[in-house]
């Protein structure tokens, strides 16, 4: 909205902005997961009294004890804010009756049919209807398709008799959390904000501007919703491209990792993406499909998204085939082989298993008759669609017992030199061994 005309704010908006500037307003955060808890902490650090609402009693109780269950949020900081009365948690929406600003950060998964599951958003909006009042702003952060805020949330908000942009304010601001990072946090990652009306944008931006270093205002909620989908579609498509490059290089007998590193020396026109065993996490495998689904209703086929999804989804099966080939070269059948999966979280240094390709790899290996064990210093147990496993206590001891170790997640805490010495065969989907300076004929790379 650079160069946009000044917004003529209604009196209620001006009063609300003043309350944010003076920190007199109470703020509510609905959903205290990996997005909501860091946001609640950032707002409390900025001087607001923050009330988090979550339907999971374990999370509410943990916050009440001053504990953190999100690795990116220091427990000491939660304890300090709780002790100071700046942060509290509740399992009831009624606790938000005095709030002037509410951020909604609830999950938006895909159904098994590939359709968006907006049930968490709908439940949150229904829960909020009893506490919505004049001089309040509601900001949806949950990733969803363009139009959700206006088409789904707005009618429910205005069913209270309040007019958006006049009495109450509604906006969308996509979460941009990247778990496991300490360079880009909730506080210093620019925050995109788009409202239902220009006044809604101004009020939402005024709230976030108290706690976040840079707020980027856009012209509508739909622009903000689409911005998040572009960001993650960009990543999904480029990961799909480099994964297909890995498939091509394997057929050509070329080292794809050397190709990627060489291309990355170009100082312009190229951004480095690396291949891997598939996509994982709460965003990249899912968000582009929200956009694809929405466009199907407009009779448009999002071909890049569909193709990238097809390639990325097939990578776990490709990994298992390559493991089977590597075992065959070593004179062993995959059926009856002991396979150690090293790293099961969807990315390094996190505990999150959502959509992790390791789950598919382990399931496919078991279907082929392999005995599967895993080691992950961040994930003590795995329960998923027939898998019920606990992490091996020692990666070295487990490697000595296995026929093949498969590196899925490149955690820093893993001793790759010891792993290389202990395992008879290693299939490395992340180039972790080369990154550790290890060259061994026992290592087969993706």
* Mutual angle of helices 357-367 and 303-329, in 10-degree steps: 50
What is the C-alpha to C-alpha distance for residues 370 and 339, in angstroms, rounded to an integer? Answer: 7
**Which of helix, strand or coil describes residue 137?**
strand
What is the token pair recorded at 83?
């002790």
- Whether 249 is a known active-site residue: answer no
CB environment 385-409: b (16+ within 10 A), e (fewer): eebebebbeebeebbeebbbbbbbb
Q: Which of 168, 142, 146 is nearest to 155 (CA)?
A: 168
Q: What count of Cα atoms within 13 Å lies in the side-chain half-sphere of residue 67?
A: 7
CA pair distance 249, 145, nearest whole angstrom: 35
Catalytic residue among 200, 249, 283, 404: 283
Instruction: Please give the Cα distance from 396 to 271 (Å, whole number).
Output: 35
Task: Determine how many CB atoms are found less than 10 A away from the CB of residue 321.
Answer: 13
What lies within 8 Å, CB to CB, of 113 at 6+ separation is none
CA–CA separation, 392 vs 411, rounded Å? 15
Distances in Å between the Cα of 199 and the Cα atoms of 27, 117, 172, 189, 424 are 19, 30, 13, 23, 64
The values of phi and psi at residue 177, to 5°, are: -70, 135
Which tokens in the block code for residue 383?
A: 């329960």
Residues making up the chain, counted from first to last: 446
Listed in sequence order, the DSSP H helices in 161-302 are 198-209, 221-252, 256-263, 287-296
419 close to 426: Cβ distance less than 8 angstroms: yes
Question: Tokens for 173?
Answer: 């601001």
Which residues are catalytically annotated? 283
């Amino acid at each position: 909205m650079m160069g946009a005309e000044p917004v003529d704010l209604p009196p209620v908006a001006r009063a609300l902005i003043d309350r944010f500037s003076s920190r007199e307003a109470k703020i509510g955060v609905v959903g205290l997961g990996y997005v909501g808890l860091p946001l609640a902490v950032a707002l409390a650090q900025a001087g607001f009294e923050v009330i988090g609402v979550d339907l999971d009693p374990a999370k509410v109780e943990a916050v009440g004890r001053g504990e953190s269950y999100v690795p990116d949020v220091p427990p000491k900081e939660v304890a300090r804010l709780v002790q100071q009365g700046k942060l509290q948690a509740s399992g009831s929406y009624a606790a938000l009756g005095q709030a002037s600003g509410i951020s909604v950060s609830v999950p938006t998964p895909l159904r098994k049919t590939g359709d968006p599951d907006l049930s968490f958003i709908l439940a949150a909006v229904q829960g909020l209807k009893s506490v919505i009042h004049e001089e309040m702003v509601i900001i949806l952060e949950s990733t969803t398709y363009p139009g959700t805020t206006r088409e789904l949330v707005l009618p429910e908000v205005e069913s209270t008799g309040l007019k958006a942009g006049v009495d109450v304010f509604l906006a969308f601001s996509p979460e941009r959390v990247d778990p496991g990072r300490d360079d880009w946090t909730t506080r210093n990652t620019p925050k995109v904000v788009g409202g239902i009306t220009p006044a809604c944008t101004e009020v939402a931006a005024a709230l976030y501007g108290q706690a976040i270093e840079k707020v980027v205002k856009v012209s509508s909620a739909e622009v903000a919703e689409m911005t998040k989908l572009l960001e993650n579609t960009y990543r999904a498509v480029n990961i799909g491209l480099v994964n297909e490059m890995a498939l091509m290089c394997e057929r050509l007998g070329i080292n794809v990792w050397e190709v990627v590193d060489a291309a990355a020396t170009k100082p312009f026109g190229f951004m480095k993406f690396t291949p891997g065993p598939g996509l994982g996490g709460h965003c990249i495998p899912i968000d582009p499909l929200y956009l694809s689904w929405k466009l199907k209703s407009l009779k448009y086929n999002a071909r890049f998204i569909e193709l990238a999804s097809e390639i990325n989804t097939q990578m776990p099966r490709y990994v298992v085939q390559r493991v089977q080939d590597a075992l065959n070269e070593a004179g062993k059948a995959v059926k009856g082989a002991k396979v150690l999966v090293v790293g099961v979280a969807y990315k390094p240094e996190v505990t999150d298993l959502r959509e992790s390709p390791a789950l598919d790899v382990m399931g496919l290996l078991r279907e082929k008759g392999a005995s599967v064990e895993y080691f992950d210093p961040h994930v003590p147990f795995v329960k998923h669609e027939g898998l019920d496993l606990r992490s091996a206590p020692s990666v070295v001891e487990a490697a000595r017992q296995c026929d093949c170790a498969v590196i899925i997640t490149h955690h820093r805490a893993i001793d790759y030199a010891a792993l290389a010495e202990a395992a008879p065969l290693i299939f490395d989907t992340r180039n972790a061994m080369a990154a550790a300076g290890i060259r061994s004929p026992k290592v087969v790379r993706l």
